[in-house]
């Protein structure tokens, strides 16, 4: 059984931090963890599973975007400095991915909306890759780390091609418990793995804990 992984990084990170805000992702460990988690849960070893490759998707703080933010907020403003820190974090993440084997980071430029940078096109790129690889018959099972309802059509299309879809995200338990999994995705995916039900030991396989000191 050939397996490919598609990760919406923002969704995945929000899912993890909603469980524990002190979880920091070890990006290079994510594919192997997800591969092992799915193998164990669904007893896939009998099908000789093979991890083909993994993709991660995120928004990009481009130079032109940072220039727009600087002009709007001012170079010395607290808000601009916050975005500058996020841009530096993104570049650090990019450098981490340079060391990851068979795990590719795909960035889409963030767009300004309501004077704030917003992700645009990330889910579209994920959906395109999900469907494209299915048509090329590059995988039998896809692990999708996103709960966005925008992926519903591509999910159904991939299933109609005879592929299996497992969604990994956080499922909320009520109004006070935020979820990163759209209800329709819960209904239409072949199976769901709730990140909120992982044990601390399982989280330690692809994250590390940090603590900020005053």
Residue percentage of the chain with pLDDT more than 70? 93
How high does pLDDT run on average in the chain? 87
Task: Band the pLDDT of 212: cuts 50, 70, 90.
Answer: very low
| Highest-scoring range by mean pLDDT, 31-40, 99-108, 178-187 | 31-40
pLDDT in tens, 167-204: 998 886 555 455 667 777 777 889 999 988 999 899 99
Task: Band the pLDDT of 214: cuts 50, 70, 90.
Answer: very low
Does the pTM exceed 0.95? Answer: no
- Phi, psi (5° rounding) for residue 189? -70, 155
Q: Which residue has the tokens 């499922």?
A: 171
Instruction: For residues 154-166, give the mean pLDDT.
Output: 94
What CATH number does the domain located at 2-60+120-209 have?
3.40.50.1010
How many C-beta neighbours within 10 Å does residue 137 have? 11
Residue with more model confidence, 78 or 141: 141
Task: Band the pLDDT of 213: cuts 50, 70, 90.
Answer: very low
pLDDT in tens, 131-150: 999 999 999 999 999 878 88
SS3 170: coil
DSSP secondary structure, 95-139, as one string: HHHTT-TTEEEEEEE-EEETTEEE--SHHHHHHHHHHHHHHTT--
pLDDT at 90 exceeding the cut of 90: no
């Amino acid at each position: 059984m050939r397996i490919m992984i598609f990760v919406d990084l923002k969704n995945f990170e929000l899912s993890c931090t909603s469980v524990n805000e002190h979880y920091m992702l070890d990006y290079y460990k994510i594919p192997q963890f997800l591969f092992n988690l799915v193998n164990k849960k669904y007893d896939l070893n009998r099908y000789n599973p093979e991890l083909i490759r993994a993709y991660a998707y995120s928004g990009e703080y481009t130079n032109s975007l940072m220039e727009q933010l600087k002009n709007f907020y001012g170079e010395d403003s607290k808000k601009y400095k916050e975005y500058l820190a996020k841009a530096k974090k993104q570049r650090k993440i990019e450098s981490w991915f340079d060391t990851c084997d068979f795990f590719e980071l795909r960035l889409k430029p963030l767009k300004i909306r309501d004077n704030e940078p917003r992700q645009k096109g990330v889910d579209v790129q994920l959906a395109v890759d999900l469907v494209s690889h299915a048509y090329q018959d590059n995988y039998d099972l896809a692990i999708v780390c996103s709960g966005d309802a925008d992926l519903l059509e591509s999910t159904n299309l991939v299933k109609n091609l005879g592929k299996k879809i497992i969604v990994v995200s956080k499922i909320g338990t009520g109004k006070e418990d935020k979820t990163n999994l759209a209800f329709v995705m819960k209904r239409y995916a072949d199976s769901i793995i709730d990140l909120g039900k992982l044990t601390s030991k399982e989280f330690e396989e692809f994250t590390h804990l940090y603590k900020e000191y005053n």
